[in-house]
Amino acid sequence: MHLGFGAEAVDYESAWQEQRRVHAARFVDEVPDTCLLLEHLPVYTAGRRTSEDERPLDGTPVVDVDRGGKITWHGPGQLVGYPIQKLPRPVDVVAHVRRLEEALIRVCAEFGVQGTRVEGRSGVWILGDPVEQRAALGGLNLDFDPRVTDELFDPRLNGPEYAPSNAGQRREDRKLAAIGIRVAKGVTMHGFALNVNPDNTSFDKIVPCGIRDAGVASLANELGREITIAEVLPVVEKHLRDVLEGAELLPRAV
């Protein structure tokens, strides 16, 4: 189901309300499994595990939501998908996340971008170079990079060269697609956000997904060319269908 793109991008509260409506209908089997696809108007949303020191320092408004994960940004140039799917109980949440990752990894591959998983971190990632192979920034030797020794390193306070949006230039690990979900009454909500061609500097006001030692990426930046939501949308739809419709849904082992 397409909710709106470009000039018809959807504000977050309206999409959240539509999610709840479809979720309720799916629970009573009034509708089949459904994936809402859209672009959002600019918004910061914070999952249940977001801490205060990960929010914008300048008081930018944040919408607190009932999904898992931490804080992120949504906005133009980002393709958002909310799969609302009934799963067998007891629900295997991890398996659902892995299926979404698999679909998005296949999307990246079709565009010539090698996306992957990072152990312990959900979403789709572009792996960076080993630390010892990365170029120095601004004349700094990487031996003095504060992230090497300081677990509380805050990229918001350390200048643009350390901003999450510049992780590609630093050849660091960077997240291309974020995933945060909720399962209520055996039916999934929320989902994924794939960075196609957004202004990634919007992530610099926060600690994206609570991760301080990596950054964010987009298909446009990784490919070094312009790419649009319209170009990516049918590819995402194809791989979501292949993975989600073809999956053998099993209850979580107990």
pLDDT of the residue at 153: 79
pLDDT of the residue at 147: 65
Catalytic pick among 207, 209, 217, 219: 209
Contact 43, 14 (CB under 8 A): no
pLDDT of the residue at 154: 83
pLDDT of the residue at 222: 96
218 residue type, one letter:
S
**How far is Cα 182 from Cα 178, in angstroms, rounded to an integer?**
14
Taken in order of first residue, the domains within the chain and their CATH numbers are 2-131+163-246 (3.30.930.10)
**How far is Cα 215 from Cα 203, in angstroms, rounded to an integer?**
9
CA atoms within 13 A on the CB side of 13: 2
Residue whose C-alpha is closest to residue 45's, from 26, 23, 67, 19: 67
Residue-wise pLDDT for 145-176, tens only, equals 666 667 777 878 877 888 999 999 888 999 99
Nearest-10 Cα torsion for 162, 214, 189, 34: 100
Residue-wise pLDDT for 97-130, tens only, equals 999 999 999 999 999 999 999 999 999 999 998 7
**Other CB atoms within 10 Å distance of the CB of residue 35:** 20
Annotated binding site for substrate: 67-74, 178-180, 191-193
Query: What is the residue-wise DSSP string for 76-128?
Result: TTEEEEEEE-B-PSSP-HHHHHHHHHHHHHHHHHHTT---EEETTEEEEEE--
pLDDT of the residue at 140: 47
pLDDT of the residue at 36: 98
User: Is 209 among the catalytic positions?
Assistant: yes
pTM for the model: 0.92
Which stretches of the chain drop beneath a pLDDT of 50? 140-142
